Structure formats: C-alpha cells, structure tokens
Structure 1
C-alpha cells in the first residue's frame, strides 16, 4: 500500500503522441489514482482533439437511481486532467498537472450508461499553452466537458488545468 504523500511512479513517455497506449495509460491511472477503478470507466479514445470516455452508470448511482453528482463532478475533473496529461505526454513533456478551477452545470438526470467528452475551450487554447510553456515552462489550459446519455446532454462542465514544472 502506498503511503500518503508519496507520489506514484510516472508512466514512461511514449515515443510519439500516436504511440500512446490508452489501455496502458488507463491501467496506470487506476493504480496511480485508486478512485478511478471505482468510477465505471470502460474505455477512453481520442476523436481529433476530443478525449472520449465510455462509462457505466451502475457504480455511480445516487439514492434516486440516477447519476450521483459527486461522481460526475469527479469524472469531469479527471477527464480534464487526463486530457492535459496525455497532451503533454504527446509533446514529450513530463510535467505536473493540477486542476486550478472547475465548474459543473447539471442539465438532466443521468439515467443510463454515458459518454463524457473533453476538449479545449477555444480553438487557440493549445497554441496559447504551447507559447507559455516555451516561454515560462508552465501555463494554464481551459477545457470543457460534456456528459451525454444518447443524444441528451446531462451535464456541461469547464475547468482550468495548471501545468507546472516537476517538483523534486
């Protein structure tokens, strides 16, 4: 068992962004952040600049039989952290990522297995981040998340993710 305050070993960087094995990343993620193994994450894939997750509702039920808001908020925060971490890994950068701010808006109950999407908040967000990383070695990235059951959007979220130099 890992001690509190002890970082989990980093996953080696892929040779290229296209070489990232998302199954291996998901396995590592479940070890590095134990909560992930209990969130019902079935699969993650990329579609252009959007990270997609397929999730099971069963482990995220509330007392009413629909999605528990706390689980859904954790998932929106986590997918943003993953988007940022995977993007950095694809750039050959091993840096710390932390959530700086997060906000969710619940639109409809989650009543079945669902899809969670994450992408940059604006078309130029990644370019701005690249410039800040080149200049200062750190920066922030605004991302948006959308959770849907079928064609129904149930939750919209946004978050700012801070990219920091590695701590020794």
Structure 2
C-alpha cells in the first residue's frame, strides 16, 4: 500500500535516444499509480509517434453494460501523461508531468474491447516543448487521444500536459 504524500521512486532512465520497454514501463506504472492495475490495459506500444493502448472493456463497464464515461476520461488523461513522460524519458529528462487541461467528446457507446491512441495535436508541439526544456523552464504540449471500438471512433479527447521545471 502506498503512503499518501510520498512520491513513488522514478524508473531509471533508458539509454539516451532509446525508448522504454512499454511493458516494463506499464508494470512500473501499475505500482506507481495503483488504479492502473484495474484499467484493463492489455498492451502498450508505439505506432510511429502515437502511443497505443489495447484495453478490455469489462473493468470499465457502466450500469448500461457499455463503457463508463468517467473511467474512459481517466484513461485518456493517463495515456496523455504516459505519452509525455515517455517522450521526456527518451530524451533523458526526468521531469514531473501534470495535466493542465483536459476535455472529452463522447461520440458513440463503447460496446466491446477497445484501442486508445495518443499523439501530438500540432506539428510543432514536440519541437516547441524541446526548445522550452532546453532553456531550463517548464514546457507544455497539446495531445489528442482517440478511443476506437472496432472501426468506430467512440471518444475524442484533448489535453494539455505541463512539464514542470527540474527539481
């Protein structure tokens, strides 16, 4: 059981220029954020610059037998946090990330297992973030998350993630 107010130990950074092993990161994440173990995440992988989760619907069912909006919103927010954290780690930055703004549009009910994707919103987002971090300050990036149930886009979310100054 985690103690309230006590930060969890960071995962060692990968070799500069390399990405974390997604499954090892997911295992660490389940310890660092206990609710992760109950989200139904089956797989985490990169597809180009998009971070992708494959999820089981059963842990996130609502009273109607479809996806519970609150659980789906939490998953999109966490996926954006993971994208930003992993992007930083690949560049040898051990920095804290927080969600600054988040919003969702629910487009169709989630009726089966699903896929969540997360990628930067603007073409210059990564370059602008890297530039801000190089100057030693805080940075921010806008990300889009999409939830796909088969070929149906069921949810689109947008989030701004802030990278805090180094401690």
- Normalising to structure 2: TM-score of the pair? 0.97
Quick check: 1:125 aligned with 2:101? no
The size of the alignment, in residue pairs, is: 167
The alpha-carbon distance between structure 1 residues 143 and 136, as it changes in their structure 2 partners (threshold 3 A), is same
Considering only aligned residues, what root-mean-square deviation do their CA atoms show, in Å? 1.0
Q: Distance in 1 between the 2:122 and 2:3 partners?
A: 39
Query: How far is the alpha carbon of 1:19 from its aligned partner?
Result: 4.5
Gaps of 5+ in 1: none
> Mapping of 1:45-56 within 5 angstroms?
45-56=45-56
Which residue number corresponds to residue 149 of structure 1? 149
- Mapping of 1:2-151 within 5 angstroms? 2-151=2-151
Q: Deviations over 1:57-108 (max 9, x none)?
A: 0000000000000000000000000000000000000000000000000000
Distance in 2 (alpha carbons) for counterparts of 1:19 and 1:131 = 20
Conserved 8 A contact 2:46-2:52: yes
Distance 2:93 2:136 in 1: 14
User: After TM superposition, which residue ranges in structure 1, 4 or more long, deviate above 6 angstroms?
Assistant: none
Unaligned segments of structure 2, at least 5 residues: none
**Which secondary structure state, in structure 2, belongs to the residue aligned with residue 18 of structure 1?**
coil
